[in-house]
Amino acid sequence: MSPSRDPNTKTIDSSQTLAAIGPIARSSVVDAVADRLRGEILAGRIPAGSKLPSERELSLALGVNRLTLRASLARLEALGLITTRHGAGTLVTSWRERASLDALATLMHSLTPEDPTWHELVTSTLEIRRILACENETAQGFTPPGPSPCAAPGARLPARPARSTLPLRDIRRPR
């Protein structure tokens, strides 16, 4: 006697299963070195303003060749985490001031929710989103139905938002 089949159950063959699973992304040594250094910088164990050891010393400490290290450092520089100057060495920058919005997703994915920096980034991102929505709402003269996300209960908004001439890095969240 064969087992009964539910007519609503969809069956797929093994080739469809393999296509749905897909390959696992491999991490290169360059990625691993960049991830390690990025984690140290974001965790504050390598603070902003500090100078990294020479390429020779750093590559020996990490157990990689200098070409791999240079490629990793180039990725960190593209994220705005470090600056490299010939003859002066590699300095850790303040990523809160120099990192671009493009780097935000990479920074978020490199952290875990247990990390306080992750919470700070999420909170800041949501606050920026709220501010931009409020500026757009005010500029358009549009008031959505329901409570406005532009103000805390009881707070008053100006009729027109003041234009700030400060660069974004100089704008601080109220504490």
Coil vs helix vs strand at 49:
coil
Residue 115 confidence class, pLDDT cut points 50, 70, 90? confident
Between 7 and 91, the more confident residue is 91
For the chain, how far is it from start to end, CA to CA, in angstroms? Answer: 72
Interval 84-100: pLDDT, tens: 988 889 999 987 777 76
Mean of the per-residue pLDDT values of the chain: 76
Q: What is the C-alpha separation between 161 and 157, in angstroms, rounded? A: 8
Which of 3.30.70.100, 1.10.287.890, 1.10.10.10, 1.10.287.610 would CATH assign to domain 29-98?
1.10.10.10
pLDDT per residue as tens digits for the range 33-65: 998 998 888 778 899 999 999 999 999 999 999
Residue 48: exposure state from Cβ atoms within 10 A (0-12, 13-18, ≥19) = middle
Q: Extract the tokens encoding 69.
A: 């290290």
Task: Give the pLDDT of residue 70.
Answer: 96
pLDDT at 170 over 60: no
Instruction: Report domain extents, the chain.
Output: 29-98
Query: How crowded is residue 107: how many other Cβ atoms within 10 Å of its Cβ?
Result: 19
